[in-house]
Structure 1
């Protein structure tokens, strides 16, 4: 769902140096095909096949069922959310690990959600 054009217009490409990013200065970008879902791409490391970003979902939102060809991780910063395929809810401080190929449908409760997320690996 994250297109190359979104990555190119919002991210900083990582070249091996330390980067400090004020995320308040990065705009939320709507995710194509997923109303109520937004990203702030923070870094792209093409050499290591890694993208770091913030992901936000409106209250009572849902992201379409999908999978990744890479590992994805998420650390909950705000709100309450879960996967339609499971029973647990994640709250601030919770960490989620999605192995490559896992099919999932993230959704949020009345609080919406914001997570730090990272895609790691080719694909």
Structure 2
């Protein structure tokens, strides 16, 4: 059925179940944790990356007592904390916390003794080239990450010894 068919689900009539061709269902244990080489102690498990809609959904882990480099969101980002504690300056987040970040938000997550695991959704605009920009703290060089980066991570080899901490 098409999205046109879903518009016919009207009040007063019994609705039918619709699974559309673009619906995706993922079992996270079938996706690998991938080490983010340039960001030590940082791991990502991409659950879905949709090029047409420019949306990435992934689990992200940062090891205990670590700092992720300064980065800027070029899209809306939603992160729900599944495990651990982390902070952006004075903003402290813990298990059950939600971060809803708008384009232009710039920060560097810091972890304490537990590290953290979040599920993150990046909501880009169709055709938008980059979803995130990061800055190397030493060289101040800026790199951009687009949906292709997340698509490539779905097929990357997994890291050794990383498990789901949620």
TM bracket, shorter-chain basis: 0.7 to 0.9
Q: Give, in whole Å, the separation in 2 of the partners of 1:62 and 1:27.
A: 22
Residue 13 (structure 2) aligns with:
none
* Aligned pair partner of 1:62 in 64, 67, 71: 67
Residue 98 (structure 1) aligns with:
101
Over 2 Å off, 4+ runs: none
Where 1:24 maps in the other structure, the secondary structure is helix
* Aligned pair partner of 2:92 in 84, 89, 92: 89
Residue 42 (structure 1) aligns with:
47
Q: Give, in whole Å, the separation in 2 of the partners of 1:43 and 1:22.
A: 11
1:118 is aligned to 2:121: yes
Q: Give, in whole Å, the separation in 2 of the partners of 1:93 and 1:103.
A: 22
Structure 2 portions without partners, runs of 5+: 1-20, 131-166
Residue 24 (structure 2) aligns with:
18
Residue 3 (structure 1) aligns with:
none
Which structure has more strand as a fraction of its residues? 1
Deviations 1:11-61 (A, max 9, x none): xxxx61231x22123211111321001100000112211000000010011
Q: TM-score, normalised by structure 1?
A: 0.80
Deviations 1:52-108 (A, max 9, x none): 00000100111100102111110000000011xx31211111100111111100111
How many residues of Structure 1 are paired with residues of Structure 2 in the alignment? 106
Aligned Cα root-mean-square deviation (Å)? 1.3
Structure 1 portions without partners, runs of 5+: 1-14
